[in-house]
């Protein structure tokens, strides 16, 4: 008997698309010259796999391909928007002051809109949370240190994912319901951009002590959530950190509900 296509041994059966990070000019050691690389960061893949999901990298699309973003949205159960380089200020109507990636912006916005249209859940991490905000008409601080000089340190390239600061979970928020009795906890921080003007239909679910927005959620139907920190980088054994488990479990539960396929 042919196995059900949505099932795989020891897994949840969930097929989770992950947006690609872009290397527009491959490193010399890759042997690929100036070719573009699309890649999935290992920690993200392992985070999803540890919960039984099957992560699948969604490649960029172009006019030469017959597949479109909605083909992937129909075939997959959910989407994770990975972290990475800066969103281009042109994408939200401002002047470019920093190195950015408008090509990746357009690709991920197309994916995001396709998954929303199909009623499939989307989880945005760091850059992904910022992209969700931009998709709903919001804007970003292009550089926290220069535009918010009194803010906490949100990026230290030497510390990288070991940099920590507290987040304050908004009372009565959806996120607060998953952390009963916890209103403040530490998270990692490795970003120099952040939500400025909140997008239409989005609600703030967590902030840093300096007021910088750290988590947002769409108030419309379905599941659309973004976190500014990287839950996939954290060790579950480190004391004092906000557990990443409820965030992923909620996302996968939403994917399980909306991603059921007929036999």
Looking at 118, 126, 170, 214, which residue is catalytic? 126
Tell me which residue of 8, 22, 25, 26 sits closest to 77, measured CA to CA. Answer: 8
Tell me which residue of 136, 13, 117 sits closest to 72, measured CA to CA. Answer: 117
Looking at 205, 214, 232, 250, which residue is catalytic? 232
Cα torsion angle, 191, 192, 193, 195, sign: positive
What is the DSSP code (8-state) at residue 102? Answer: H
Give the DSSP H/E element, type plus range, for residue 54: strand 54-58
Looking at 154, 170, 230, 250, which residue is catalytic? 230
Active site residue 232: yes
The alpha-carbon radius of gyration of the chain (Å, integer) is 18
Active site residue 118: no
Distance CA 117, CA 131 (A): 17
Active site residues: 126, 230, 232
């Amino acid at each position: 008997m042919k196995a059900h296509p949505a099932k795989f041994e020891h897994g949840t059966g969930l097929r989770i698309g992950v947006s690609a990070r872009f290397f527009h000019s491959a490193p010399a050691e890759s042997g690929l010259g100036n070719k573009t690389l699309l890649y999935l960061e290992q920690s993200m893949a392992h985070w999803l796999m540890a919960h039984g999901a099957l992560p699948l990298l969604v490649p960029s699309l172009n006019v030469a391909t017959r597949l479109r973003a909605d083909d992937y949205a129909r075939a997959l159960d959910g989407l994770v928007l990975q972290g990475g380089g800066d969103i281009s200020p042109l994408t939200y109507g401002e002047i470019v002051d920093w190195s950015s990636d408008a090509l990746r912006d357009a690709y991920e916005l197309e994916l995001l809109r396709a998954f929303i249209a199909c009623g499939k859940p989307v989880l945005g991490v760091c850059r992904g949370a910022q992209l969700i905000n931009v998709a709903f008409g919001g804007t970003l601080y292009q550089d926290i240190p220069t535009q918010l000089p009194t803010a906490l340190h949100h990026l230290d390239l030497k510390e990288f994912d070991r940099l920590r600061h507290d987040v304050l979970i908004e009372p009565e928020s959806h996120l607060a319901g998953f952390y009963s009795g916890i209103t403040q906890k530490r998270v990692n921080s490795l970003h120099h951009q952040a939500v400025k003007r909140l997008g239409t239909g989005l609600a703030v679910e967590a902030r840093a002590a300096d007021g910088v927005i750290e988590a947002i959620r769409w108030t419309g139907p379905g599941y659309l959530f973004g976190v500014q920190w990287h839950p996939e980088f954290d060790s579950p054994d480190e004391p004092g950190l906000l557990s990443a488990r409820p965030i992923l479990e909620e996302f996968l539960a939403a994917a399980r509900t909306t991603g059921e396929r007929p036999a």
